[in-house]
Amino acid sequence: MKHCLTIAGSDSCGGAGIQADLKAFSALGTFGMSVITAVTAQNTKGVFHVQNISPKVIAAQIKAIFDDIRVDAIKIGMVSEIETIKTIADTLKKYDLPPIVLDPVMISKSGYDLLNPEAKKTLIEVLLPMATLITPNLPEAEEILGYKINNLEDMKKAAKELHTLGPEYVLVKGGHLSNDATDVLYDGNVFYLLTQERIETTHTHGTGCTLSSAIAANLAKGNSISKSVENAKKYVTTAIEHGFSIGHGVGPTHHFYELYRKAGIINE
C-alpha cells in the first residue's frame, strides 16, 4: 500500500482540511498520515477561530513520519504563518522528497483568512518552488497574481505566470466561473483543459482539499500528473454530486460514495 502525507489544518466539522484529506487517501486505497499545522473551530456555517500549531511541533511531526515511514506523496494545505511555512520547507528539505501537491489555501468559503496576509510572500517564494503541482482556485490565483480572472483565456495566462514562480505543474481551477467547470492544467509548454458539467449543489465544503489530496493519492500510486488530475477530478465530481447536509450551512462532499454503493451500504 502507498503512503500519503497531508500537512494541513484540522477542520472540526470533518468536511475539509486533514479530515477530508485522510478520507480521500483512504477512499483511493492509500494509507493516510497527517502533520497538523493549525486547529480550526469551524462548522458548515463558517470558521470561527484558528489556533496555529507551534513550528517546533510541526517540525517534530514531520521528522517523526520521515524517520520511520516511507512517504509516497505529500499534500500541503493550510499553512497560516511565516514561521510555519519556513519550518515546513526547512524540515522537508532534509529528506528525499516524493511528489508534492500544494493547495494554496488562503480564504475559507465564509471569508475567513486562513493565510495571514504577511505570509503570502513567503508562501510564494518558499513553498511554490518546492511543489510538483499547485492547485489554486480562482480567488487564490487572483490573490497570488494581483489581478482578476474572468474567463478561460485569463486562466491560461494565470497558469503561465504561476508556472514562472517555480512549480513543475499548475492546475488553475475554474469552479468559480459560470457555465461548465473547466480546470486548466499547464506543464510549462502545453495546456490541458479538463471540463466537467457543473453540479448545482450547495454541499461543496472541502472540495479543494479533497481534489488536491486525491491527486496526491494518484501520484503515490504511480500515475502521471495528467492522469492523476483526471482521476482526481472524476472522484471529486462524484463526491460533489452526492454531497449531503450535516448542519445548517454548506455540507461536505461524499468521500466514500462509490465504496458505500459497491458495499450495498447506500441505495441508488
Q: Give, for all 268 residues of the chain, the pLDDT tens digit.
A: 999 999 999 999 999 999 999 999 999 999 999 999 999 999 999 999 999 999 999 999 999 999 999 999 999 999 999 999 999 999 999 999 999 999 998 876 656 667 888 889 999 999 999 999 999 999 999 999 999 999 999 999 999 999 999 999 999 998 767 666 789 999 999 999 998 777 878 888 999 999 999 999 999 999 999 999 999 999 999 999 998 899 999 999 999 999 999 999 975 5
For residue 179, the model assigns a pLDDT of 67
Catalytic (active site) residue 9? no
Of 204, 210, 237, 253, catalytic: 204
Q: What is the pTM of this model?
A: 0.95
For residue 131, the model assigns a pLDDT of 98
Do the beta carbons of residue 253 and residue 205 sit within 8 Å? yes
Catalytic (active site) residue 75? no
Catalytic (active site) residue 44? no
- Domains of the chain, by residue range, sit at 3-263
d(CA 55, CA 171): 29
d(CA 166, CA 183): 20
Of 87, 207, 210, 253, catalytic: 207
Catalytic (active site) residue 135? no
Of 209, 210, 237, 253, catalytic: 209
For residue 165, the model assigns a pLDDT of 97
For residue 63, the model assigns a pLDDT of 98
For residue 117, the model assigns a pLDDT of 80
Residue identified by cell 511555512 is 85
For residue 266, the model assigns a pLDDT of 75
Of 14, 208, 243, 251, catalytic: 208
CA nearest 7: which of 48, 86, 62, 72?
Answer: 62
Quick one: CATH architecture of 3-263?
3-Layer(aba) Sandwich (3.40)
Catalytic (active site) residue 45? no
For residue 112, the model assigns a pLDDT of 63
Of 15, 206, 243, 251, catalytic: 206
Catalytic (active site) residue 209? yes
d(CA 132, CA 243): 29
Of 2, 23, 75, 173, catalytic: 173
Q: At what angle do helices 152-163 and 138-145 cross, to 10 degrees?
A: 50
- How does pLDDT run across 126-149, given as a tens digit for each residue? 999 999 999 999 999 999 999 999
